[in-house]
Structure 1
């Protein structure tokens, strides 16, 4: 009897195990290849199931004749028969299609009571727990970051390689990708970077770039901006700054005013419920996203989020913008693991445009403090290892989270080969000329091209030839020179400038210049160059030139990016031209003035970013306030010159008010101690052109007002579509509105006229100067118009009390 029972048990288990075995696998996203945690796995027939763990891994009994269902929030359900299960154990799930439009239709006619709305309650719980879930609120963490940025030419097809424009580099477009994205594309740029990132609350952040590589563009300074600090944004902030605009974050507590929210899916995993919360802007033109997020009912932290910019949002040249972020649970904290960004930059639907694809992996998080405070206090937030760019290819093989595919490796080869063709070198040179004004050859550059021919009231027709050397001739020395001739005054002018660089990563140089040319002494730094042909065409009043013969020596030393000091020794001989003259109080005329000055200057713009190319450096600005300051001491030598002290400062900043727009503020001031002739006074910067100058008073003429002490403010408030998005015609054209006011209060002591009398047209301010107005920009995505009223100092008949200026400002 016992033997028969034992035999029955053996036969029973043999029967069971003949039908069932353990099945192990991992559930991953079909696009990102990332694990999907907490997915449900259920045998449909047997109703036996399990849940994947945090890493997407699962284990379940295998039945030989059943269908296994895989489901996860935000993904399409996948059903596989037991005989079709992959041997690798990798189960690929595909994202669900968006259903926001259907959701809107279902609830369109029904007004939801906010306090009873489950979506509103869930959103408020997410907003309330932002501090607990925001990694930036943790005391310390560090991690490794891998960035890959790819730029592709899109809307390409089989005819692209045959076009005259692309035929010389047809091999780049022979095998366009026609499957991955909405438009077919061919890669034209690829950049990779790997870095170590460190963050300490209340102290700061620091990044060390270990490896960097670019395809086609040999600009090592780009390495500094391929890491986490300069390409990251925090979704838990109230506003997200994108394209210099502030988008309302869907996680902000008050974002209910800008968004509609809907719970569209849920999934229960043990005692935890995950929700999919969809959102879209209340007004499509506003700076807000549409998309969804996945959260849970315990931590209310992000498991995943997708952000898209709506088609009708008031932003230019962006046909598609998508951000996807994936988070993973690490030491009870949801941390960012993966991010993909896709931007379609396109001037028109049928035109060629560019895809910008950025993929970032964060790895090996640690919350154990490793670095002292001194490590973070350096003004230089990003450090690039010497070997990062030189040996980037070898290092990235070591650091990449996964190896490059064959198609990605071909990008490096194709782009590098294309950039070495004569055709693309010419295209690159023409692009450089359009931006810098100089056309480059191997050892020298011709330019600026826009000064080759011009005209004015003193010289008549003027021609000029100029050049500067490149690093291919002298690596650390630059020579810049020009010669010009006026056919009206029949005088030849010239300039020579020699610069010796002793630092490029930190901008440092010595410079000597000798100039013999005509200058407008009261023009702003932003004004057209005196002999720019556009200045000749757009003038509304004749300029007042001074023949300037100048020699100067400059030492410039940058301590950190955006923090520098300089010393300038200068001697000048100034000769009045046209209506200007140097007349003493004794009615005697002086032929010229001689000056000898020592100038100490500096700049403080913390975290200002730059890209360097050869002898050029482009500022990418800073999010912090900027301060420029100068102290000038005037000396007498052999009874020539004037003894004085001059102090000047310039402060600028931008203040964002989220949904309501932003305010640009500029404050200036200066004071002179001692007596000086009027060319050395604080001559307030006017504009003699119809072209707008954002550093000048646009209805004030150059050499109209001067002071020996003054304070000035320039304010501009940009509504960023707040008003125009509610006006039908403006909304359709995406026109933006702004208001502004510029004023200056100055005092001029009459003692200065004991040296030289003020010429006709130049005077002190009788009252504070004020001009104000409003404007429209983004007209045809390019034009800005300012309507300006001059409110004070309007007694003279030569004063223009109302004016319209224009500017060409392509922006997003």
Structure 2
């Protein structure tokens, strides 16, 4: 017994000593170099500096504090090389097999900057002419078509995507707050060489595995999603589908061979765009001849560091393909991108069987924050890996048919074993726990209370389980007709039923002493929430409430307290009784249709009168001329159909509205209404058509333009209240789809066409002005034009049976048709004020003789942009 115990103890001791010595030996054999890179003159730390073992491609970039940590088990390396655009490359000797700290100060290399100092005192500016770096980039540009994926007749590959988001750069003080006492298991330590700060708090993660097929003719690009995995929050708080769509919009694929690269909600000119030498400076900073093929390191930087441009390095093959084998893209700290502290995209390419190259991996990292240098923020990373890449291997015809993206049945039901076998890379342990940790987080009562509070302030609803009360910003408002207007309302949640929903509110006007109310019931036909895409539901509703004729609101409600403040007279209102029955059906390809029935009764309110016959009734008069009769109520009964097609549309579903994630794809809408005379009290027979198209156009360095074109035509004889009352705005908030200097009920038409053009230069002009460019403001130009008219049969001057146009106290008509050309207004604006505010100076150019027609106005819009 004693011998056996001693023998086992001896063996155990030897095993421990062996493992310990092996560990120490392995550690001793590693070469570890740490340090900080600074500017030799200013002493400021330099982020994104490349640090490599000399004679290799093994290296990293410094973090946002200029720190680096480089490790290798290869003891043949005796030097490190430190290089950065605009600075002299530095080589330092290191001791193999040891851990050491080497701090490096880089000196400015005048040859790589704007000018060269000559003894005679003359300054030679950077030029494209006779510049070998520019000649090289022109060769890369000339060979773009043969190196892009679209050069093949057929390609296919498997794609793995992983996206992570964290609260970043968190201090120990923040982590140790009492609020996070129960959440310590969530915090992660970030690699000191990576962007995002030291301490991270995971917020979100998703993975996707797909098979992708491309065909040149006819053009087809199809993705079949085999598996998805996503952190999911309580749907009462967060739209998980919309959250995924939003993150995927701002972290899009980077195709360096495109002229413009989508990043966040902007497009940035690629360093190998057709005209990139006009916007970038290029420098040959190194040649790598120790690998096949040999590479040229081509560094680039913006000519103007405030412009929406990249800076970084391209590694170009010297085998005649002039292909990009590797790319590192960052942005200058002066760039006009909101909230972006750091950005780094790394692209890797692999050689195909035909000797050309395809993208094999991309890694896009961004760190966001209100402050550029300190405080907490948000860090996000999207990694994409392409495997099993094949060229010119045509598949059966049916492979390429159907929608551009198909999601396999039960794609979100794959287990952990499937994912561990299918991922082309290993998932770090800290990331593997995110799914489980977020699920655990949502069971903690204090987290639920926090989310409940956030939802109240952001979305305006307070949840009580099966019912939620809100929106809170409508609880108090006022207007000239109702005076003080308290309101209370709410709706059921999926906790009560996923298929059946109720919504209601009640309000009271202190001045008019009338109650208003609304009630709707909705039944989902696809066993999903009515707020989930694709929608398929039936809704019945009844509303008894006030309304401003022709009012068009964007993502707000008329009861909103801030909209109580308006310019000019605002006392022509309607009492409405509206019953609606609607069926809505959306499809996965983003085509949808809505079929509805509407019974609408309108009664005039305030200074608005419904009068027919000749003459007029001043607003302050109690007498009605004998030739005039007062119409108590207008009643219509109609059927309507709406067709909508929004290819590739993405949005975030809020508590009240879908918030669109604007992209380059157009949205088409067509509406048809048919009114019936004599059906359920309807007084008029008519037909109307309305068509609308809106689209964003990206204009590279000149920013982007949002264009909306609309037209409508009404068949039938109708009073002015049933014609198209053009969307006016008398509030002080800028409304992009309304006419901001038009008065309510000022213009009506039975046929019209309009165009709205809103162009954002993204700071292209202001970035050239020394004082303005530091403020990172953005210049905006907006033009709106409206053509229309009223046919003779709908003109009350020709038909006494029609309602007369409203008049003011002097008897002058305040409503008219667009008979003297188009209504035109325009504005020049400054955006990005405090990163969220846009101010426009608006000018009205036509119909200035109308009563109370304003010529100038200042309007404000709060908008979050990157």
The interval holding the TM-score normalised by the smaller chain is 0.7 to 0.9
Higher mean C-alpha displacement, 156-165 vs 687-696: 156-165
What is the distance in 1 between the residues matched to 2:129 and 2:357? Answer: 28
What is the distance in 2 between the residues matched to 1:241 and 1:391? Answer: 31
Q: Judge conservation of contact 2:747–2:817 (CA < 8 Å) in 1.
A: yes
Give 1:98 shift.
9.6
* Deviation string, structure 1 residues 230-285 (Cα, Å, up to 9, x no partner): 83131101111212222111001211111100001112368853100000000000
What is the distance in 2 between the residues matched to 1:30 and 1:601? Answer: 65
What is the distance in 2 between the residues matched to 1:376 and 1:506? Answer: 23
Paired residues for 1:108-507 under 5 Å: 108-109=116-117, 110-111=124-125, 114-173=128-187, 178=192, 180-181=194-195, 183-188=197-202, 189-201=204-216, 202-215=218-231, 217=233, 221=241, 231-268=252-289, 272-297=293-318, 298-331=320-353, 332-348=355-371, 349-378=373-402, 380-391=403-414, 393-503=416-526, 504-507=532-535
Match of 2:683 among 638, 641, 645: 641
Give 1:408 shift.
2.2
Q: Structure 1 residues 678 and 164 mapped into 2: Cα distance closer, same or farther (>3 Å)?
A: farther
SS of aligned partner of 1:316: coil
* Deviation string, structure 1 residues 654-673 (Cα, Å, up to 9, x no partner): 22211122222111111111
Q: Judge conservation of contact 1:220–1:389 (CA < 8 Å) in 2.
A: no
What is the distance in 2 between the residues matched to 1:299 and 1:199? Answer: 22
Q: Judge conservation of contact 1:498–1:511 (CA < 8 Å) in 2.
A: yes
Give 1:462 shift.
0.8
What is the distance in 1 between the residues matched to 2:313 and 2:105? Answer: 12
Give 1:226 shift.
8.2
What is the distance in 2 between the residues matched to 1:552 and 1:609? Answer: 28
SS of aligned partner of 1:637: coil
Give 1:439 shift.
2.6
- 2:610 corresponds to 1:588: no
Aligned twin of 1:763: 816
Q: How many aligned residue pairs are there?
A: 750
* Deviation string, structure 1 residues 447-498 (Cα, Å, up to 9, x no partner): 1111111111111111111111111111112211111111111111111111
Q: Judge conservation of contact 2:506–2:515 (CA < 8 Å) in 1.
A: yes
* Deviation string, structure 1 residues 200-238 (Cα, Å, up to 9, x no partner): 224221212222222353666366788899831311011
Give 1:681 shift.
0.2
Higher mean C-alpha displacement, 770-779 vs 119-128: 770-779
Q: Judge conservation of contact 1:67–1:79 (CA < 8 Å) in 2.
A: no
SS of aligned partner of 1:630: strand
* Deviation string, structure 1 residues 25-79 (Cα, Å, up to 9, x no partner): xx99999xxxxxxx9689xxxxxxxxxxxxxxxxxxx9xxx95779999999999
Match of 1:519 among 544, 547, 570: 547
What is the distance in 2 between the residues matched to 1:611 and 1:715? Answer: 24
SS of aligned partner of 1:315: coil
Give 1:579 shift.
1.1
Structure 2: give runs of 5+ residues left out of the alignment: 1-29, 35-53, 58-73, 84-88, 118-123, 527-531, 614-626, 808-813
Q: Structure 1 residues 615 and 751 mapped into 2: Cα distance closer, same or farther (>3 Å)?
A: closer
What is the distance in 1 between the residues matched to 2:155 and 2:755? Answer: 42
Q: Judge conservation of contact 1:207–1:227 (CA < 8 Å) in 2.
A: no
Higher mean C-alpha displacement, 490-499 vs 610-619: 610-619
Higher mean C-alpha displacement, 550-559 vs 168-177: 168-177
What is the distance in 2 between the residues matched to 1:229 and 1:461? Answer: 43
What is the distance in 2 between the residues matched to 1:646 and 1:363? Answer: 54
Give 1:622 shift.
4.0
* Deviation string, structure 1 residues 578-630 (Cα, Å, up to 9, x no partner): 11111111511111011001111111221112455899755334421211111
Aligned CA RMSD, in angstroms, stands at 3.4
What is the distance in 2 between the residues matched to 1:387 and 1:99? Answer: 58
Q: Judge conservation of contact 2:31–2:95 (CA < 8 Å) in 1.
A: no
SS of aligned partner of 2:685: strand
SS of aligned partner of 2:683: strand
Q: TM-score, normalised by structure 1?
A: 0.85
What is the distance in 2 between the residues matched to 1:665 and 1:569? Answer: 31
Q: Judge conservation of contact 2:652–2:658 (CA < 8 Å) in 1.
A: yes
Higher mean C-alpha displacement, 531-540 vs 585-594: 531-540
Give 1:392 shift.
5.2
What is the distance in 1 between the residues matched to 2:178 and 2:109? Answer: 43
- 2:702 corresponds to 1:680: no
What is the distance in 2 between the residues matched to 1:534 and 1:30? Answer: 59
Q: Judge conservation of contact 2:190–2:197 (CA < 8 Å) in 1.
A: no
What is the distance in 2 between the residues matched to 1:148 and 1:737? Answer: 36
Q: Judge conservation of contact 2:488–2:505 (CA < 8 Å) in 1.
A: yes
Give 1:539 shift.
4.9
Q: Judge conservation of contact 2:232–2:240 (CA < 8 Å) in 1.
A: no
- 2:673 corresponds to 1:632: yes
Q: Judge conservation of contact 1:157–1:176 (CA < 8 Å) in 2.
A: no
Q: Structure 1 residues 371 and 533 mapped into 2: Cα distance closer, same or farther (>3 Å)?
A: farther
Q: Structure 1 residues 406 and 229 mapped into 2: Cα distance closer, same or farther (>3 Å)?
A: closer
SS of aligned partner of 1:250: coil
Give 1:393 shift.
3.6
SS of aligned partner of 1:730: helix
* Deviation string, structure 1 residues 755-802 (Cα, Å, up to 9, x no partner): 222222211124221111211111111211111111111113411111
Q: Structure 1 residues 224 and 493 mapped into 2: Cα distance closer, same or farther (>3 Å)?
A: closer
What is the distance in 2 between the residues matched to 1:471 and 1:616? Answer: 17
Q: Structure 1 residues 270 and 364 mapped into 2: Cα distance closer, same or farther (>3 Å)?
A: closer
What is the distance in 2 between the residues matched to 1:324 and 1:602? Answer: 42
Aligned twin of 2:21: none
Aligned twin of 1:689: 731
Q: TM-score, normalised by structure 2?
A: 0.80
* Deviation string, structure 1 residues 495-542 (Cα, Å, up to 9, x no partner): 111111223542221111111111123011427422111111355542
* Deviation string, structure 1 residues 173-218 (Cα, Å, up to 9, x no partner): 3756556446212231222222222222242212122222223536
Q: Structure 1 residues 617 and 808 mapped into 2: Cα distance closer, same or farther (>3 Å)?
A: closer
What is the distance in 1 between the residues matched to 2:249 and 2:854? Answer: 51
Q: Judge conservation of contact 2:787–2:823 (CA < 8 Å) in 1.
A: yes
Aligned twin of 1:731: 773
* Deviation string, structure 1 residues 403-444 (Cα, Å, up to 9, x no partner): 323222233333332233222223323333444332333212
Give 1:165 shift.
4.8
Q: Judge conservation of contact 2:766–2:779 (CA < 8 Å) in 1.
A: yes
Aligned twin of 2:639: 598
Q: Judge conservation of contact 1:149–1:191 (CA < 8 Å) in 2.
A: yes
Aligned twin of 1:104: 112
SS of aligned partner of 1:792: coil
Q: Judge conservation of contact 1:493–1:517 (CA < 8 Å) in 2.
A: yes
What is the distance in 1 between the residues matched to 2:497 and 2:651? Answer: 23
Q: Judge conservation of contact 1:721–1:736 (CA < 8 Å) in 2.
A: yes
Q: Structure 1 residues 543 and 145 mapped into 2: Cα distance closer, same or farther (>3 Å)?
A: farther
Aligned twin of 2:744: 702
Higher mean C-alpha displacement, 675-684 vs 401-410: 401-410
